Amino acid sequence: MRILTDLHIYPVKSLGGIALQASVVQPRGLQYDRRWMLVDERGRFVSQREVADLALLGTALEVPHLVVFSRKNPAQRVHIPLEPVVSEMPETTVEVWDDHCPARVHAPEINVWFSEVLGCPLRLVFMPDSTVRPTDPAYAPAGLPVSFSDGYPFLVIGQASLDDLNNRLAQPLPMNRFRPNFVFSGGTPYEEDNWQEFSIGDTWFRGVKPCARCIITTTDQDTETRGPEPLKTLATYRKQEHRILFGQNVIGATDAETVVRVGMPIRVPGKE
């Protein structure tokens, strides 16, 4: 039996994630997942690809706030409204890969905090419900919204896939290198690559394409140091058309908001 064992959100793109016991499933992703993002002076998104120090910023939900804190100095923190008053926030246009979409800019004191901690001029932006950044229509229904994630609302990885990878590595790596939303036990390594549809409890999802991995997977999320793994090893057996694949990108099968919880069974048609 496949069981949902871990559930994660990453409220600010490329910052630390939060492990949850339950989360609301929305069309553009899990509630609060990547609804915030740091941008440079041009409005271009900033990630661990360029600024490895982002790995050292953790996040926590302390309702009614999202708290961002320094892992090196947890007392160094900033409180961000989970439900900001959008009408009071300046509007700007931001860039995420090839997409340009409207976003709202947080208060100057929040932007100063990030700029000082990371040592470069940055702004924190929020994606309001009115912003519709469409998922790639080549793989998803036209107009399906996505948050500030790289491309798709959800990412699923089987624990068996990580175990298989770790058996090939001299030093095992944790799952946080791959930043999944859903982690499950049971099944066989990499079987999620071929999931066309699956359910977590009564909530249905559709797999759209395996996830191509980047340099962020080589960044230790506790120390920000980088090495050749896991990309070096993955390239020996998970490379297709110059892309290294690990995990499956996923969209929701309905527009209805539902709740998924750790411990729920995962059902895959044809693999019962």
* Pairing assessment for the beta strands 36-39 and 57-62 based on DSSP bridges: unpaired
Reported as a single tens digit per residue, the pLDDT across 204-235 is 999 999 999 999 999 999 999 999 999 999 99
Average pLDDT, the chain: 97
Question: Environment class of residue 245 by beta-carbon count within 10 Å: exposed (0-12), middle (13-18) or buried (19+)?
Answer: middle
- pLDDT in the model for residue 184: 98
CA-based torsion, 98, 238, 56, 67: positive or negative: positive
Question: Environment class of residue 174 by beta-carbon count within 10 Å: exposed (0-12), middle (13-18) or buried (19+)?
Answer: exposed
Taking residue 105's Cβ as centre, other Cβ atoms within 10 Å add up to 18
- Hey, where are the domains in the chain? 2-267
Section 94-98 average pLDDT: 97
Confidence tier at 271 by pLDDT (50, 70, 90): confident
Reported as a single tens digit per residue, the pLDDT across 102-137 is 999 999 999 999 999 999 999 999 999 999 999 998
Confidence tier at 272 by pLDDT (50, 70, 90): confident
List beta partners, residue 95: 44, 100
DSSP code of residue 253:
S
Please enumerate in sequence order all residues whose Cβ is within 8 A of that of 113, keeping only pairs 6 or more positions apart, or say none. 78
SS3 of the chain: helix, strand, coil, percent, to 5: 15, 40, 45
pTM for the model: 0.97
Does 88 score more than 80 pLDDT?
Answer: yes
Helix (H) or strand (E) holding 78: strand 77-81
CATH number, domain 2-267:
2.40.33.20
Reported as a single tens digit per residue, the pLDDT across 150-209 is 999 999 999 999 999 999 999 999 999 999 999 999 999 999 999 999 999 999 999 999
Q: How far apart are CA 1 and CA 200, in angstroms?
A: 12
Total residues belonging to the chain? 272
Does 250 score more than 80 pLDDT?
Answer: yes
